[in-house]
Amino acid sequence: MDSFESLINLHIQRGNEFYYKRNYYMAIAEYKKALRLNSRSDAVYINLGNSYASIQNFDKAVEAYNEAIKLNSGNGDAYLGIGNAEDFRKNYNNSIEYYTEAIKFYNKNSAPEGNKSIAFLNRGNSYFRYYKDLKENGNTDYTYYSNAISDYNEAIKLNNLNTEAYARKIYALSFEEYAKIDEFLNRSETIHFPEVVGDMCLALGLYDNNNSKMYKIALKLYEKAMVTDPNNILAHMGKASIFMINGDFEKAKEYIDSITQDSNFGILVLKATIHIELEEFEKATECFEKAYELNLDLGNFSYGDDLTSYMYLKENLKSNNDSILEISSKILEISKKIRDHKKPLEKDKLVHYTKPEVLISLINEKKETGMAKFRLYHTDYMNDPEEGTFFLNEAYSKWNEISKIYPEYEFKTGYCTPKETVELNNNKFQTFIGSFLPNDDDLYLWRTYGKDSKGEDAGGINIVIRPDFFDKDLFSGSNRHFVLNTDTKNISDDKFRPDLGSYKNNIYKVMYDSQIVDDIIKDIKKPLEELLSISEDKEVILRLIRSILDEIRYLVKSKHYTAEDEYRVIYKYPLDWKAKIKEDVRSVPPKMYVEIEKNMAEYIENVTLGPKLENKKNWNKYLNYHGIKAHESKCPFK
| 3-class secondary structure, 594 | strand
In a domain, 448, yes or no: yes
Structure confidence by residue, pLDDT tens digits, 31-67: 999 999 999 999 999 999 999 999 999 999 999 999 9
Give the Cα-Cα-Cα angle 124, 126, 127 (nearest 5 degrees): 65
d(CA 194, CA 182): 14
Angle between helices 321-341 and 538-553 (to 10 degrees): 10
9 HSE (CA, 13 A, CB side): 9
| 3-class secondary structure, 16 | helix
436: left (phi over 0), alpha (psi -120 to 50) or beta: beta
Closest CA to 54 of 9, 77, 20: 20
* pLDDT value for 175: 94
Closest CA to 297 of 435, 446, 495: 495
d(CA 445, CA 435): 12
Residues of the chain with pLDDT under 50: 299-301, 424-426, 474-502
The secondary structure of residue 480, as a DSSP letter, is -
* pLDDT value for 472: 61
In a domain, 474, yes or no: yes
* pLDDT value for 488: 31
d(CA 552, CA 516): 10
Say if strands 567-574 and 630-632 run parallel, antiparallel, or are unpaired: unpaired
**Cβ atoms of residues 518 and 398 within 8 Å:** yes
d(CA 551, CA 547): 7
Closest CA to 458 of 472, 444, 469: 444
* pLDDT value for 305: 79
Structure confidence by residue, pLDDT tens digits, 460-495: 999 999 888 987 654 332 222 334 443 333 322 332
Total of domains in the chain: 1
In a domain, 601, yes or no: yes
**Cβ atoms of residues 556 and 395 within 8 Å:** no
pTM > 0.85: yes or no: yes
Structure confidence by residue, pLDDT tens digits, 330-358: 999 999 999 999 888 777 789 999 999 99
**Cβ atoms of residues 388 and 553 within 8 Å:** yes
What strands, in cross-sheet order, belong to the sheet with 375-378? 508-509, 567-574, 429-436, 375-378, 591-595, 582-584
What range does the domain containing 437 cover? 350-478+506-632
In a domain, 189, yes or no: no
- How many C-beta atoms lie closer than 10 Å to residue 258's C-beta? 9
In a domain, 164, yes or no: no
In a domain, 334, yes or no: no
* pLDDT value for 303: 58
In a domain, 288, yes or no: no
In a domain, 374, yes or no: yes
